[in-house]
């Protein structure tokens, strides 16, 4: 599969030139102190990883629970175990780094009822495929618009939940936002998970995800303090995560579209 991924990567990025300017612009913003050669190395690592992610997502269809559990290792499972024993529900603030799609394997590692928020796709075919992949091992996908209502329902029944939220999307115009320093730029982030955690008395953690080797990942859960700015902590933790393995981040999306021109 990874041989196929490498071939696809060459076609998409070297022949078609998919979002080359965006990727190079983002890397220049994030790592201005690096030489062009160093940034080129990160770009090439990202390009291979980009196609890996989507082929690995499709691979879920043929995986059994034993194989899936081996692919994502939880470094500190005792933290989530302790929250479960205390009947504490958890909201995981994650990002587009490493293989976020394989977070669907979390139900194999935890005792909590696992949920993840998502935006419904315009194509019914791709929407159903996405749900099939993400829900195979016990995840319940919930449309973001219904997220609070669903979480409150579990809370009222005293069922401990662990909810997976991607926090590094660029907010829409009508969204609640908060800004934080992210690679030296005041960057807007979605506000929502922190408010839900506060209203429902739930714990917030950051998912520090890295690749141990191709096709294998590790996750460490880092508690987020709720008496301080959650968004600022999230931005700082995400930046540290990216710097640890820069080729693993999704550099092809226009993260700073409001602040800079990608033309």
Helices (H), the chain: 2-9, 20-30, 36-59, 65-71, 77-85, 124-134, 147-156, 193-200, 230-244
Q: Which domain holds residue 214?
A: 72-246
Q: How far is CA 181 from the centre of its chain?
A: 19
Is the pLDDT at 15 greater than 70? The verdict is yes
Q: Rounded to whole angstroms, how far apart are CA atoms 14 and 99?
A: 23
Domain-located, residue 217: yes
Domain-located, residue 28: no
Domain-located, residue 106: yes
Model confidence over 171-222: pLDDT tens digits?
776 667 889 999 999 998 888 888 899 999 999 999 999 999 999 999 999 9
Domain-located, residue 154: yes
Domain-located, residue 116: yes
Domain-located, residue 94: yes
Q: Which pLDDT value is given to residue 174?
A: 67
Helix/strand/coil (H/E/C) assignment for every residue in 80-130: HHHHHHCCCCEEEEECCECCHHHHHHHHHCCCCEEEEEECCCCCHHHHHHH
Token duo for residue 238: 């995400």
Is the pLDDT at 224 greater than 80? The verdict is yes
Domain-located, residue 262: no
Model confidence over 84-96: pLDDT tens digits?
999 999 999 999 9
Domain-located, residue 142: yes
The tally of domains found in the chain comes to 1
């Amino acid at each position: 599969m990874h041989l196929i991924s490498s071939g696809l990567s060459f076609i998409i990025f070297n022949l078609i030139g998919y979002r080359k300017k965006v990727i190079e612009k983002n890397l220049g913003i994030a790592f201005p102190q690096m030489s062009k050669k160093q940034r080129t190395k990160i770009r090439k690592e990202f390009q291979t990883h980009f196609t890996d992610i989507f082929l690995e997502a499709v691979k879920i269809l043929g995986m059994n629970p034993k194989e899936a559990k081996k692919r994502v290792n939880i470094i500190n499972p005792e933290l989530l175990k302790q929250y479960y024993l205390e009947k504490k529900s958890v909201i995981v603030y994650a990002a587009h780094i490493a293989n976020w799609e394989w977070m669907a394997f979390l139900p194999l590692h935890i005792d909590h009822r696992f949920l993840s928020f998502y935006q419904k796709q315009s194509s019914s075919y791709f929407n159903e495929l996405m749900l099939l992949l993400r829900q195979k091992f016990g995840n319940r996908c919930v449309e973001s618009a219904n997220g609070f209502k669903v979480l409150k329902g579990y809370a009222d029944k005293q069922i401990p939940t662990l909810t997976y939220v991607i926090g590094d999307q660029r907010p829409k115009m009508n969204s609640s936002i908060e800004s934080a320093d992210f690679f030296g730029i005041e960057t807007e982030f979605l506000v929502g998970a922190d408010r839900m955690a506060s209203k429902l008395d739930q714990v917030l953690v950051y998912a520090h995800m890295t690749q141990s080797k191709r096709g294998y990942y590790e996750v460490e859960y880092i508690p987020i303090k709720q008496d301080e700015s959650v968004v600022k902590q999230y931005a700082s933790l995400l930046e540290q995560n990216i710097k640890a393995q820069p080729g693993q981040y999704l550099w092809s999306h226009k993260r700073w579209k409001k602040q800079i021109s990608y033309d």
